[in-house]
């Protein structure tokens, strides 16, 4: 469904407001994660990495893929409303037809998913086979091997000397 020309002009202004609000929210969440002293640096890094990956996907969907043309603007607007980036007062400038299109959109503001750290000591080499959505890192002495997968099972195998202990630090969503 294409947006009306009068709504398209207003949409471009609303898009800038929503984009700025989106970026401010990501920066505020990143700051909260970075300053969370109860978590290790590794856990904070993992959370920041996941935050940026997830928000980049949302930014692409709302601001690049679905708001560059009149034919996709209403989908982009709906995503902006879903992420609670525009107020009802700001949306009131749009036509009734555009407001009807987004009226069923449920607002789901972003919330950080904090993690608790669990440390497990293992006495032999094992593949990392953590459940879906778990972030992991393996600390061997002063060397840290970080699993680069996010929201996927890690398929890395960390090879150590036989019977050499190592510590597996797992960040589990709370």
Residue by residue, pLDDT tens for the chain (174 residues) are 799 999 999 999 999 999 999 999 999 999 999 998 888 888 888 889 999 999 999 999 999 988 889 999 999 999 999 999 999 999 999 999 999 999 999 999 998 877 665 444 333 334 444 444 444 444 433 333 344 333 333 333 333 334 444 444 444 454
Q: How far apart are CA 73 and CA 12, in angstroms?
A: 9
Token output for 51: 């935050």
pTM of the model: 0.67
- pLDDT tens digits, residue range 99-124? 999 999 999 999 887 766 544 433 33
Smallest Cα–Cα separation from 12: which of 85, 109, 77? 77
Q: State the DSSP code for 99.
A: H
43-76 b/e (C-beta count within 10 Å ≥ 16 → b): bbbbbeebbeeebeeebebbbeebbeeeeebbbb
Q: What is the CA radius of gyration of the chain?
A: 21
């Amino acid at each position: 469904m294409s947006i009306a020309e009068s709504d398209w002009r207003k949409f471009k202004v609303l898009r800038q407001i929503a984009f700025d609000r989106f970026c401010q929210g990501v920066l505020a969440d990143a700051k909260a994660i970075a300053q969370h002293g109860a978590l290790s640096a590794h856990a904070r890094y993992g959370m920041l990495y996941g935050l940026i990956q997830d928000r980049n996907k949302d930014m692409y969907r709302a601001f690049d893929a679905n708001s560059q043309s009149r034919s996709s603007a209403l989908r982009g607007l709906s995503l902006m409303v879903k992420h609670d980036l525009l107020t009802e007062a700001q949306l009131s400038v749009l036509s009734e037809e555009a407001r009807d299109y987004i009226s069923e959109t449920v607002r789901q503001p972003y919330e950080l998913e904090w993690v608790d750290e669990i440390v497990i000591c293992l006495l032999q080499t094992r593949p990392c086979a953590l459940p879906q959505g778990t972030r992991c890192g393996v600390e061997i002495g002063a060397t840290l091997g970080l699993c680069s997968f996010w929201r996927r099972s890690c398929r890395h195998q960390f090879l150590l000397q036989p019977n050499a202990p190592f510590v597996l630090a797992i960040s589990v969503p709370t």
